[in-house]
């Protein structure tokens, strides 16, 4: 019995060390696309997310960004995490706060109200089975005229250690220029792409 306890605590300690090494590694490169993402079924992706989501919530919360506090209690628009080639080949989810109530049903030319926040958390899953939290990608609709260069959208990215990698209204705004450049493609939908069809939750 004693041996069993020893073995258990030994392996827990080791997995703790490995986990922190991975966390460090992920913090350093979570803004760079990974090259070999795993192909997961919807069920596999859901399971990984349900194991990791509480930890992800506390990691992003370390940023103290009020805009994304409790984002996991917001409406989720995809039925399983899906791989996003445009956000670093990570598995992502699309949440929107209550102000962005029309996010799913935006008509051509319609705008989301000021205070709308869209939050996209992400998980890295490598082809060799490693899983760790990725960055949070966020958009917030600012008051009209606040940011003409980005059509009054604020773009930000939070690393899963709470640090802010970039924010068009704060730190390293230049690192976030490419966000709007790509989102410009969907100007008709107020610069939002929404969720790939096969992952949409029926309205």
Report the residue number, 3 or 193, with the smaller CB distance to ligand HEC: 193
User: Closer CB to ligand HEC, residue 18 or residue 182?
Assistant: 182
Q: Which positions from 113 through 142 interact with ligand HEC, judged by CB under 6 A?
A: 118, 120, 137-139
**What CA–CA distance (Å, rounded) separates 96 from 104?**
9
For 118-152, b/e burial (b = at least 16 CB within 10 A) is: bbbbbbbbeeeeebbbbbbbbbbbbeeeebeebbb
Report the sign of the C-alpha dihedral through residues 80, 88, 195, 115, in that order. positive
Closer residue to ligand HEC, CB minimum distance, 20 or 163: 163
Task: Measure the CA–CA gap between 195 and 203, rounded to whole angstroms.
Answer: 12
The Cα–Cα gap between 129 and 123 comes to: 12
Instruction: State yes or no: residue 158 binds ligand HEC (CB under 6 A).
Output: no
Q: By CB under 6 A, which span of 56-64, 67-75, 83-91, 145-153 interacts with ligand HEC?
A: 83-91
86 contributes a contact to ligand HEC by CB under 6 A: yes
Tell whether residue 87 is a contact of ligand HEC (CB under 6 A). yes
Based on the shown chain and the rule CB under 6 A, indicate whether residue 182 belongs to the binding site for ligand HEC.
Answer: yes
| Shortest Cβ 49–ligand HEC spacing (Å) | 15
In 3D space, the residue among 137, 139, 65, 74 whose CA is nearest the CA of residue 101 turns out to be 74
Give the binding site for ligand HEC (CB under 6 A).
Answer: 84, 86-87, 92, 94, 118, 120, 137-139, 155, 157, 176, 178-179, 182-183, 192-194
């Amino acid at each position: 019995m004693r041996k069993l306890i020893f073995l258990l605590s030994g392996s827990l300690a080791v997995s703790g060390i490995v986990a922190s090494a991975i966390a460090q590694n992920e913090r350093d490169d979570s803004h760079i696309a990974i090259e070999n993402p795993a192909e997961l079924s919807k069920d596999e992706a859901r399971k990984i997310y349900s194991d990791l989501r509480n930890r992800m919530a506390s990691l992003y919360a370390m940023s103290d960004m009020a805009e994304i506090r409790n984002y996991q209690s917001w409406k989720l628009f995809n039925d399983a995490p899906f791989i996003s080639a445009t956000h670093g080949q990570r598995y992502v989810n699309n949440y929107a706060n209550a102000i962005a109530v029309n996010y799913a049903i935006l008509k051509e030319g319609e705008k989301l109200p000021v205070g709308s926040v869209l939050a996209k958390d992400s998980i890295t899953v490598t082809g060799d089975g490693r899983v760790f939290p990725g960055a949070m990608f966020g958009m917030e609709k600012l008051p009209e005229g606040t940011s003409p260069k980005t059509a009054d959208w604020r773009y930000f990215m939070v690393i899963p250690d709470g640090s802010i990698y970039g924010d068009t209204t704060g730190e390293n705004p230049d690192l976030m220029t490419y966000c709007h450049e790509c989102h410009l493609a969907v100007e008709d939908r107020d610069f939002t792409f929404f969720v790939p069809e096969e992952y949409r939750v029926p309205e």
